[in-house]
Structures are given as structure tokens and as C-alpha cells.
Amino acid sequence: MSEFKKENVEIVALSVDPMEKAKEMVDKLKLEFPVGYGLEVPKDAEKIGAFWDARRKIIQPANFILDSDHKVVDACYSIGPIGRITAADALSHISSSKSERPSPVD
């Protein structure tokens, strides 16, 4: 988390779990970022184009990196347990994006 804080990056997670189950996961993993809960399958999955499983009522992972204007600059959609943006990949992308930005003109 400290690397993300140094980059002035916020992390947010969303879950289909009800509040109590989501809170258990936050406590168990000692998460230091907000976790939304109660996403609805398929309604919320379809809003972001994510794959979902009707039988288990889950949304497969969908990861997004947004810029300071809240525009999606990178995304990763999974159709199963494989395929996620790792923390290292996210930091690399963010760092390289910052170094590619033109310097402000005085």
C-alpha cells in the first residue's frame, strides 16, 4: 500500500457479498482501502461489461486503472480464476504513464 500512497493512487474494490461477509474479508485480509458490497448479478456486471456466473451469482474479476480525470486507461476482464492486474503491474503502468506525460509549460 505504501507504494500506491507514494504515487498518490487510491484503490477501491467492489464485491457481490453482503455487508457482513465483505467486512469479514476486509478484516481477514487487513485491507486498507474501501470495499463496496452488494453488487447485483447480472445488473452491475453488465454495466461494466464483466463476465458473470448466474449459478453462483458472482461477477468474475474486472480490474480498471483510471487516470486523474477518472478515464479508464487500462482494464483486465476475467472469465474465470485467472486474469487480474497485479499490484506490480498497476504500479508499473502508473509510473510509466506519469513519466510519459509532457511537462507543464510556464
* Tens of each residue's pLDDT in the chain, 106 residues: 899 999 999 999 999 999 999 999 999 999 999 999 999 999 999 999 999 998 998 999 999 999 889 999 999 999 988 888 999 999 998 888 877 766 556 5
Residue with cell 469479514: 24
User: 76: which strand partners?
Assistant: 63
Question: Measuring CA to CA, which residue among 74, 78, 77, 70 is closest to residue 96?
Answer: 74
User: What are the distances in angstroms from CA 48 to CA 43, 44, 76, 104?
Assistant: 9, 7, 11, 33
In the chain, the domains with their CATH numbers are 2-93 (3.40.30.10)
